[in-house]
Homo-oligomer: A and B are copies of this chain.
Amino acid sequence: MAQTNEDRFGLPEVDHQLIEDIEDLVSKKEMGMVLNIVLDLHYADLAMLIERLEKEEAQQLFDWLPPNQRADVLLELDYPLRTVLLDEMETSEIVEMVDEMDTDDAADVLSELSDELTEEVLTSLEDAEEVRGLLQFGEDSAGRLMATELVSAPQHWTVGEATEEVRRLAEEVEPIYLVYVLDDEGILQGLVTLKQLLLNPAQTTLKAIMETEIISVQPEMDQEEAARIMEKYDLTVLPVVDANGKLIGRITIDDVVDVIREEAEEDLQRLSGISFGDEEIGDSVLAVSRGRLPWLLFGLTGSLISAFVIGNFTAILEQVVILAMFIPVIGSTAGNVGVQCAAIAVQGIASGDIWASDILKRLLKEISVAFINAIALAMVIGCVMLVLKLSGWGEMAGADLLRLFETVGISLLTCILMAASIGSGAPLLLHRHGIDPAKATGPFVTTSNDIIGVMIYFSIAQFMYFR
């Protein structure tokens, strides 16, 4: 990726050749030469390079990096490798590295360590108190996404004083887009952008120029919701306040972009039947297998139930064996319709476009769509049967094609309507009961459609052939 028409002023590129060269140099312990090359890389590229090295070489190279580079690189690495590297480090090395990080990143890394190790690191950390505070918040809360590094100023300060404050904190707070304006109790009252600091005379008070229509969130809010708010209102930073309105941190857009990407990947994995939705490319075979097996077993149980449903109809199958031909037609069509409906419902709920109260409206619409498509599909099957009849295949196979068409057509119509209702209704019901629909919808919809599909098909067949 990204090799085509991207310009990099002075930034070398990571490709297969570079990876091979580094791999070779690292195994020959050529530390000087390796550092010479990799310290010119952007830390995101360096992380990508390390992800692609063999485990031993990755550890060796990471070990050679200076603490500030280690901090930047570690934060870019995905989970399995990140834990491997952390496990190899001395406590003092971890402290030195974490001290280079912003408080939100520090909390992120510490939350992956054992409780004792976290305590050990915290006792030696510069920002121990802030990081400890962040670790109090739940793993997926806005509080864990926020950094405590920010620039704030009392409302009576002037533009000149605020500029001085930006200067003082320039090193520590990165990036700075604006200054938060607080009252004497630390309650957030407004914000002043750097642009306004540049544009206004030094003696103007902040109170006179501050923007007071601010959107803020509380630290307990779910990260995905905080991300959605920043996305919706096109925000680059979002202040976090406690229940009293006191400013306690800020969330920056780069962290939120990661949340959006991770959320989307998780939803896709969950809908595709990967049980926990956090499979990483670097995970071991056993870890991947463990993540995928639960829903496969659930699906197997469902299809075994379908098997027993069919088992109950062996009498009819023995007489009209041709009915077996259409088991995949019914099953896969119902499955496809169900998945389409479920995907749209899950997506609409996640984006806030579908509200819990919309359930009847949604069902009506989905059933209308399903009805149109079912008629179209039934017509295709009708045409196929007609061709078969004209070609004499029916007589050859001893099949009553008209009755077969009636059976398959009516079953298909019924199954599609049912699949659409389950596919769009299930996520909305889950959502209404406070369950994230992305977590359970996918395999549930496919499996229940499978079972109900064969039930409907054979019940209708029973009626059509033995009424």
Query: How many whole Å from A371's CB to the nearest CB in chain B?
Result: 9
Determine chain A's interface SS by DSSP, over half rule.
Answer: helix
- Residue A435 is within 8 A (CB to CB) of chain B in the complex: no
Q: Mark A315-327, 1 if CB is under 8 A from B, else 0.
A: 0011001101111
In contact, B215 and A6 (Cβ under 8 angstroms): yes
A380 to B205, CA, bound (A): 73
A-B contact pairs, 25 of them (CB 8 A): A2-B232, A6-B216, A6-B221, A9-B213, A9-B214, A42-B215, A167-B199, A230-B257, A231-B258, A264-B268, A271-B343, A273-B336, A289-B373, A303-B328, A307-B328, A308-B325, A310-B324, A311-B397, A314-B325, A317-B321, A318-B318, A327-B327, A328-B331, A328-B450, A331-B331
Q: Which of A239-280 contact B (CB under 8 A)?
A: 241, 245, 253-254, 256-258, 260-261, 264-265, 267-269, 271-274, 279
Instruction: State which size class the interface on A falls in.
Output: 35 or more
Query: How many whole Å from A386's CB to the nearest CB in chain B?
Result: 14
Q: Which of A179-216 contact B (CB under 8 A)?
A: 193-195, 197-199, 212-216
Q: Apart from A11-B213, A293-B376, A311-B397, what are 13 other A-B pairs with CB-CB below 8 Å?
A: A5-B220, A6-B221, A7-B215, A166-B198, A194-B194, A273-B336, A285-B369, A289-B372, A296-B336, A297-B380, A300-B333, A303-B329, A311-B325
In contact, B324 and A9 (Cβ under 8 angstroms): no
In contact, A300 and B377 (Cβ under 8 angstroms): yes
A143 to B331, CA, bound (A): 45
Q: Which of A432-465 contact B (CB under 8 A)?
A: 443, 446-447, 450, 454
